[in-house]
């Protein structure tokens, strides 16, 4: 449908730009870096209060247990904040999932904490685009959508997690649970480009920490009795890089370990990231890594332990997902917005949702740019633009649009 109907025009007439901007300013003023549990708690409370204006039940869900590896190769539990969930009309036959995240990449001690206007339409500040503005769009969208006659026969869940910026490790099971049985999903990452371009197909992402355990010895008196864990880790890094191909970028990122120069190091931790572009590349890497680690144990006479794995599966766009993209594009055209898309090397919770088989468009948030940097900005008028877009998309889906 290329033109707005009278009911659709009425639905978006009450969208409140001022309220959305005020919420964004309020939420972005609180530091909520993924590791700032106090800040996340404050934002979660504000979100729970704001989303309680919608019908349904708001809960704060406990994070799943997550472990990490320290510089000495020891595994430890990594704390996370709680995740906000709103469930509306859970018994409805056709239901949707809307997701966002409350965390940012800026820790509590980061220099980038303040909000400032660059010009009359452009707001610079931490999390303004990624994605406190998007969270405000979700709320405004659902308030408007509730006025649609079709809303009464449909339902939705909203998930706002606290750990998207570090891979959603403590919320991935919750994402998969909430995605089950959904007709479609919308995720409110900022647009891929400031003009509103959407991210289309995405590659996946995996983070690994390989701990190598060798044997220490004096570097001068009896070096041959030692088993050098640093050398084994370095050899692994080089071999991993040689395993890279077009569908599998591999980035060896850091080696921890060692001690004094006159000691053969008996431990090392290699950390690396992979970005598989296809499911086949991801599956092949798992087997190849296992073979590599067995080879390194024999060559260097060390033991190794692998921690981590693929946390964001590749996100191809299948036929149903493409129909959802087409609906967003056509709805944008009816609103006077030009909506295009392009593939992205970045990852987000849209990867996890797509892995469940649910069609998803994952850049429905505000227009902006320079995310993950002190130059991050949000284009303020896009709050209303994107809320109108989402409201009409949901209305059309709820009214029987097929995917």
Query: Measured between alpha carbons, how far is 214 from 222 in angstroms, rounded to an integer?
Result: 15
Judging by beta carbons within 10 Å of its beta carbon (0-12, 13-18, 19+), is residue 126 exposed, middle or buried? Answer: buried
Q: How far is Cα 148 from Cα 179, in angstroms, rounded to an integer?
A: 23
Q: Directed axis angle between helix 17-28 and helix 133-145, to 10°?
A: 140
Residue 107: predicted pLDDT: 98
Please calculate the CA angle 62-63-64 and round it to the nearest 5 degrees: 120
pLDDT in tens, the chain (403 residues): 579 999 999 999 999 999 999 999 999 999 999 999 999 999 999 999 999 999 999 999 999 999 999 999 999 999 999 999 999 999 999 999 999 999 999 999 999 999 999 999 999 999 999 999 999 999 999 999 999 999 999 999 999 999 999 999 999 999 999 999 999 999 999 999 999 999 999 999 999 999 999 999 999 999 999 999 999 999 999 999 999 999 999 999 999 999 899 999 999 999 999 999 999 999 999 999 999 999 999 999 999 999 999 999 999 999 999 999 999 999 999 999 999 999 999 999 999 999 999 999 999 999 999 999 999 999 999 999 999 999 999 999 999 999 9
Tell me, what's the pLDDT at 1? 59
366 vs 363: CA distance, rounded Å: 8
pTM value is: 0.95
Alpha carbon of residue 132 to chain centroid:
14
pLDDT at 259: 86
Query: Which domains does the chain carry?
Result: 6-203+315-398 (3.40.630.10), 205-312 (3.30.70.360)
Cα separation, 279 vs 315, whole angstroms = 8
pLDDT at 2: 72
């Amino acid at each position: 449908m290329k033109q707005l109907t009278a009911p659709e025009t009425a639905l978006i007439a009450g969208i409140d730009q001022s309220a959305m901007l005020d919420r964004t300013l309020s939420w972005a003023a609180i530091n909520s870096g993924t590791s700032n549990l106090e800040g996340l708690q404050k934002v979660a409370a504000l979100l729970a209060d704001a989303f309680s204006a919608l019908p349904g039940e708001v809960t704060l869900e406990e994070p799943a247990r997550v472990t990490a590896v320290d510089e000495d190769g020891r595994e430890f539990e990594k704390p996370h904040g709680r995740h906000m969930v709103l469930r509306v009309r859970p018994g409805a036959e056709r239901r949707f999932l809307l997701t966002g995240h409350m965390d940012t990449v800026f820790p509590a001690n980061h220099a980038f904490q303040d909000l400032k206007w660059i010009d009359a339409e452009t707001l610079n500040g931490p999390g303004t685009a990624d994605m406190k503005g998007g969270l405000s769009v979700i709320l405004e969208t659902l308030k408007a959508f509730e006025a649609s006659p079709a809303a009464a026969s449909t339902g939705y869940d909203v998930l706002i997690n606290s750990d998207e910026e570090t891979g959603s490790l403590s919320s991935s099971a919750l994402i998969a649970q909430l995605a089950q049985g959904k007709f479609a999903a919308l995720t409110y990452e900022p647009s891929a480009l400031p003009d509103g371009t959407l991210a289309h197909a995405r590659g996946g992402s995996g983070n690994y920490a390989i701990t190598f355990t060798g044997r220490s010895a004096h570097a001068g008196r009896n070096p041959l009795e030692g088993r050098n864990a640093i050398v084994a880790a370095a050899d692994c890094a080089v071999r991993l890089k040689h395993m890279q191909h077009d569908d599998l970028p591999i980035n060896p990122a850091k080696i921890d370990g060692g001690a004094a120069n006159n000691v053969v190091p008996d431990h090392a931790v290699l950390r690396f990231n992979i970005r598989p572009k296809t499911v086949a590349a991801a599956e092949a890497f798992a087997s190849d890594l296992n073979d590599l680690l067995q080879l390194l144990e024999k060559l260097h006479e060390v033991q190794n332990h692998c921690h981590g794995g693929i946390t964001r599966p590749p996100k191809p766009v299948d036929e149903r997902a493409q129909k959802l993209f087409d609906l967003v594009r056509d709805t944008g055209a009816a609103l006077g917005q030009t909506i295009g898309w392009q593939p992205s090397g970045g990852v987000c919770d849209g990867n996890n949702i797509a892995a469940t088989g649910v069609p998803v468009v994952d850049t429905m948030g505000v227009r902006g740019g320079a995310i993950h940097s002190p130059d991050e900005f949000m284009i303020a008028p896009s709050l209303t633009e994107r809320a109108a877009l989402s409201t009409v998309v949901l209305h059309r889906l709820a009214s029987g649009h097929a995917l």
